[in-house]
């Protein structure tokens, strides 16, 4: 590094020029490590007295002292921190005298690694320096290493990777755990890595929380997903496990379990593979007191249960309810009174679900009843039955841009002609997507052999609003 200072009103022989150069490979920053050296050169002319000074324990190697009067000052740095190197030039004239300070940042040459536990999320005690906790606790560690490290690698037997100065680790399986940390420094000057292990720092014991089923759901294929309140001991799942489960339908008929297997995606779920049936199902679990009994990863046996109901698969009758195939099937092209246009738009930033949505554009028009342009669309295929045996959910999202006078939904039976309808325009909010719910997991008062869904959209007279529709769901429970 070179520093130049010049006062333009000086006489030539009294110019103070100070040049500083570094023995480091990167001269742009005055940084080094303990034991490192810098050399400074003063090329001033005309001075009476020159004095370099530095605070101990750093010193000038010219004379092994903290004060020096030579042109070239060789400095060895012995302490960390920001170390000032000062030079004072006395020209015998208060107006010409000059002094300046160079600040050198000194780092430890090697990192002294250390760390501490800063928080335990869960019940725990400390005994003889060991943290004892129940399975499922999270422990937060923090590096307290000296030497300004910027690179970290935590060492555990957990199947997790931690490379920050803080680490949040979950401990599930009972046992005793050693924790280690390697810390080093890359910038602005290399600091040699060091590693510290704290052996037997963590002890995990089985949880006192019972191990039980959280939820049982049925997939589209009919299979049953049994989700537990914490991870399974997968090593205990074997060919015997299937015999601990039994399934019945609402009429008491036994449903065969073809196969059983862990989820493969998460460790807290088993899958019971059965032939497709969407009637209500009930599952029973009992221990056989042998290998294959279900237990948690911390060794707690699963609580037995009898005839626990499975949440049925919610089949959406609208197979293209989010218009993701780029068409508005199963609906027709629509019938206009007045004029306008309907199209499926691809714009993931606007769509509620996926990348597509239905857009209706109304042209100015006034009917003698006071309505503006009206569009009616209805299904042409994919009709479905509605019976009192099930509950149903019918919902969709709508976004009005401008004034929509009517948004009406009609259910009608293509066979019997029976129908029912409801209007929802009062729920619209200009410029915002709104979730419209016709039914919410509830029975429908009428039965339909082949239900058809019809929409009527009507604009205010002589106005040109838009109506966007997305995420149509008509599901059976």
Count the Cβ atoms, other than its own, within 10 Å of residue 11. 8
pLDDT tens digits, 154-175: 999 988 899 999 999 999 889 9
Phi, psi of 159 (to 5 degrees): -85, 60
| Shared-domain flag, residues 346 and 434 | yes
Q: Which domain holds residue 377?
A: 335-476
Confidence (pLDDT) at 47: 61
77 and 125, same structural domain? no
**Lowest-pLDDT choice from 85-94, 192-201, 279-288, 362-371:** 85-94
* pLDDT band, residue 295 (cuts 50/70/90): very high
Query: Are both 357 and 420 inside the same structural domain?
Result: yes
Residues 300 and 186 in one domain: no
**Structure-derived torsion over alpha carbons of residues 18, 19, 23, 27, reported in degrees to the nearest 10:** 110
Residue 23 in this model has a pLDDT that exceeds 80: no
Distance of CA 358 to the CA centre of its chain: 31
Mean predicted confidence (pLDDT) in 267-274:
95
Asked if 64 and 57 count as a contact pair (C-beta separation under 8 A), the reply is no
Structural domains in the chain (count)? 4
Q: What is the pTM of this model?
A: 0.53
Domain membership of residue 1 (yes or no) is: no
Does any domain span residue 20? yes
Structure confidence at residue 312 (pLDDT): 73
Q: Is the pLDDT reported for residue 416 higher than 70?
A: yes
Residues 257-280 have a mean pLDDT of 88
- Decide: residue 235, CB within 10 A, 0-12 exposed, 13-18 middle, 19+ buried: exposed
Give residues with Cβ within 8 angstroms of 9, minimum separation 6: none
Same domain, 160 and 192: yes
- By the 10 Å C-beta count (0-12 exposed, 13-18 middle, 19+ buried), 370 is classed as exposed
- State mean pLDDT over 62-69: 95
Give the pLDDT of residue 120: 95
Last residue of a domain, one of 155, 170, 205: 205
In a domain, 326, yes or no: no
Q: How confident is the model at residue 279 (pLDDT cuts 50, 70, 90)?
A: low
Residue 92 has φ and ψ, to the nearest 5°, of 75, 15
The candidate with the shortest Cα–Cα distance to 245, out of 256, 231, 234, is 256
Residue 61 lies in a domain: yes
37 domain residue, yes or no = yes
131 and 220 share one domain: no
* pLDDT value for 6: 36
* CA distance from start to end of the chain: 76
Which pLDDT value is given to residue 1?
A: 39
Same domain, 356 and 383: yes
- Any domain includes 4: no
Instruction: Tell me the per-residue pLDDT of 110-156, one tens digit each, with 9 for 90 and over.
Output: 999 999 999 999 889 999 999 999 998 999 999 999 999 999 999 99
| Cα(41)–Cα(73) distance, integer angstroms | 6
Three-class DSSP labels, the chain? CCCCCCCCCCCHHHCCCEEEECCCCCCCCCEEECCCEEEEEECCCCCCEEEEEECCCCEECCCCECEECCCEEEEECCCCEEEEEEEEEECCCCCCCEEEEEEEEEECCECECCEEEEEEECCEEEECCEEEEECCEEEEEEECCECCCCEEEEECCCCCCCCCCEEEEEECCCEEEEEEEEEEECCCCCEEEEEEEEEEEEEEECCCCCECEEEEEECCCCCEEEEECCCECHHHCCCCHHHHEEEEECCCCEECCCEEEECCCCCCEEEEECCCCCCCEEEEECCCCCCCCCEECCCCEECCEEEEECECCCEECCCCCCCCCCCCCCECCCEEECCEEEEEEECCCCCCCCCEEEEEEECCCCCCCCEEEEEEEEECCCCEEECCCCCEEEEEEEEEECCEEEEEEEEEECCCCCEEEEECHHHCECCEEEEEEEEEEECCCCCEEEEEEEEEEEEECCCCCEEEEEEEEEEEC
Same domain, 355 and 451: yes
Question: Final residue of a domain: which of 205, 240, 260?
Answer: 205
pLDDT given for residue 347 in this prediction: 93
413 in a structural domain: yes
Q: What CA–CA distance (Å, rounded) separates 101 from 126?
A: 51
- Summarised one tens digit per residue, pLDDT across range 322-356 is 999 999 999 999 999 999 999 999 998 999 988 99
359 and 472 in a common domain: yes
Give the pLDDT of residue 346.
Answer: 94
| CATH value at residue 269 | 2.60.40.1220
pLDDT exceeds 90 at position 311: no
Task: Give the CATH number of the domain where residue 119 resides.
Answer: 2.60.40.10
Residue 373 sits in a domain whose CATH number is 2.60.120.260
Give the integer Cα–Cα distance in Å for 440 and 405: 25
User: Residues with Cβ < 8 Å from 373, sequence gap 6 or more?
Assistant: 336, 337, 338, 339, 340, 362, 363, 364, 365, 458, 459
pLDDT at residue 353, as a whole number: 81
Q: Are residues 357 and 458 in the same domain?
A: yes
Q: Is residue 219 part of a domain?
A: yes
Q: Choose one of 61, 83, 107: the last residue of a domain.
A: 107
Same domain, 217 and 266: yes
Tokens of 32: 């080094």
43-57 tens-digit pLDDT: 777 767 889 999 999
Residues 341 and 472 in one domain: yes
């Amino acid at each position: 590094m070179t520093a130049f200072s010049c006062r333009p009103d000086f006489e030539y022989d009294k110019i103070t020029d100070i040049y500083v150069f570094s023995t480091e490979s990167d001269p742009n920053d005055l940084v080094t490590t303990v034991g490192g050296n810098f050399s400074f050169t003063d090329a001033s002319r005309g001075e009476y007295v020159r004095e370099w000074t530095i605070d101990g324990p750093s010193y000038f190697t010219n004379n092994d002292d903290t004060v020096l009067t030579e042109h070239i000052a060789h400095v060895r740095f012995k302490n960390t921190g920001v170390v000032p190197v000062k030079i004072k030039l006395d020209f015998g004239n208060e107006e010409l005298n000059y002094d300046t300070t160079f600040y050198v940042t000194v780092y430890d040459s090697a990192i002294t690694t250390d760390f501490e536990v800063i928080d335990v999320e869960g019940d725990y005690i400390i005994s003889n320096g060991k943290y004892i906790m129940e399975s499922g606790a999270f422990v937060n560690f923090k590096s307290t290493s000296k030497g300004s490290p910027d690179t970290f690698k935590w060492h555990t037997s957990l199947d997790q990777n931690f490379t920050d100065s803080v680490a949040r680790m979950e401990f599930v399986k009972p046992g005793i755990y050693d924790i280690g940390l390697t810390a080093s420094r890359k910038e602005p000057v290399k600091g040699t890595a060091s590693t510290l292990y704290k052996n037997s720092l963590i002890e995990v014991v089985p949880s006192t929380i019972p191990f039980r089923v959280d939820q049982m759901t049925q997939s589209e294929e009919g299979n049953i997903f049994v989700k537990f309140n914490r991870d399974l001991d997968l090593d205990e799942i074997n060919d015997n496990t299937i015999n601990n489960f039994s399934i019945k339908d609402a009429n008491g008929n036994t449903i065969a379990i073809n196969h059983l297997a862990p989820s493969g995606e998460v460790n807290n779920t088993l899958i019971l593979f059965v032939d497709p049936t969407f009637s209500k199902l009930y599952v029973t679990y009992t221990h056989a007191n042998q290998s294959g009994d279900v237990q948690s990863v911390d060794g707690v046996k699963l609580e037995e249960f009898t005839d626990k109901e499975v949440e049925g698969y919610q089949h959406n009758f609208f197979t293209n309810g989010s218009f993701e195939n780029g068409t508005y099937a199963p609906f027709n092209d629509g019938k206009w009174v007045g004029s306008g246009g309907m199209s499926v738009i691809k714009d993931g930033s606007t769509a509620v679900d996926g990348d597509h949505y239905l857009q209706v554009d109304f042209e100015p028009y006034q009917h003698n009843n006071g309505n503006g342009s009206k569009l009616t669309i209805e299904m042409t295929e994919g009709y479905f039955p509605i019976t009192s045996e099930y509950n149903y959910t019918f919902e969709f999202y709508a976004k009005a841009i401008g004034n929509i006078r009517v948004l009406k939904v009609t259910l009608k039976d293509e066979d019997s002609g029976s129908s029912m309808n409801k209007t929802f325009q009062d729920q619209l909010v200009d410029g915002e997507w709104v979730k419209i719910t016709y039914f919410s997991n509830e029975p429908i008062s009428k039965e339909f052999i082949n239900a058809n869904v019809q929409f009527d959209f009507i604009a205010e007279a002589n106005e040109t609003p838009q109506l966007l529709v997305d995420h149509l769901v008509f599901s059976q429970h």
